[in-house]
Amino acid sequence: MRISELSQVTGVSVATLKYYLREGLLPTGTPLSATRADYGESHVERVRLVRTLIDVAGLSIGRVREVVRALSDPPRSRHDLLGTAHAVLRRSSPDGAVMDAHDRRLSDQLIDRLGWRIAEDSVARAQLGAALDRARRDGLEISEETFAVYAGAALLMADRDVRDELGRESASEALRYVILGNVLSDPVVIGLRRLAQEHVSARKFGER
């Protein structure tokens, strides 16, 4: 298909597609002439991935470029693959702030009590510490009991997310699945939490 057809299929303007090509987010098509190229289904998938990362995950162009590079050269280990996905999906936000020594110790202690196997340089470990720090500074103390409940629910979701099929797919396809899975399912999890809160509130405090 021509770039105009790629635009129609994906709903992304030709100007934006050309921008993606210049920024290296979209691979070049098969040349047909000096000014024309042919694009295929792989380009459609890439455009949709880029749009999801920008529109849903809120990643910058520079961060999306990191995702594209990771897809081109994914780690062989499926466990390292998950770490790569977490690293490229990190956001420049308060969650990525540097935590002080006290908050790092608190985060480490909570993880140790769970008995989870988490690397010292895990991006998620740092994000948890920074999130706990922000909650504390803004007046929300998350008790150990509440933390344990949250952790139990997260473990159930993770057991569903890290499916056995990942070990049988190509590294690049597995990485793409993990990245998209996190980006697209996070809003679902948040929405379900809000709905569950409404249900429990209605059960406890609603009119009978």
In the chain, where the domains are located: 1-55, 56-205
Q: What is the pLDDT of residue 208?
A: 64
Query: 125: which residues sit within 8 A by CB, 6+ positions away?
Result: 107, 108, 111, 118, 119
Beta strands, E only, 23-83:
30-31, 37-38
Q: What is the pLDDT of residue 97?
A: 47
Q: What amino acid occupies position 131?
A: A
Q: Which of 49, 61, 53 is nearest to 19 (CA)?
A: 61
pLDDT of residue 32: 83
Return the DSSP state at 120.
Answer: T
User: What integer pLDDT is reported at residue 92 of this predicted model?
Assistant: 46
| Residue 25 DSSP one-character state | S
Enumerate residues 6+ apart whose C-beta is below 8 A from 130: 94, 95, 96, 97, 98, 99, 103
CATH of 1-55, one of 1.10.1660.10, 3.40.30.10, 3.50.50.60, 1.20.120.1200: 1.10.1660.10
Nearest to 39 by CA among 57, 66, 64, 21: 21
Confidence of residue 101 (pLDDT cuts 50, 70, 90): low
Q: Output the CA torsion 115→118→120→124 (10° steps).
A: -120
Indicate the average pLDDT of the chain.
88
Residue 68's region, left for phi above 0, alpha for psi from -120 to 50, else beta, is alpha
pLDDT band at 154 (very low <50, low <70, confident <90, very high): very high
For residue 103, what pLDDT is reported? Answer: 62
Cβ contact 2:39 at 8 Å: yes
In 3-state terms the chain splits into helix, strand, coil percentages (rounded to 5) of 70, 0, 30
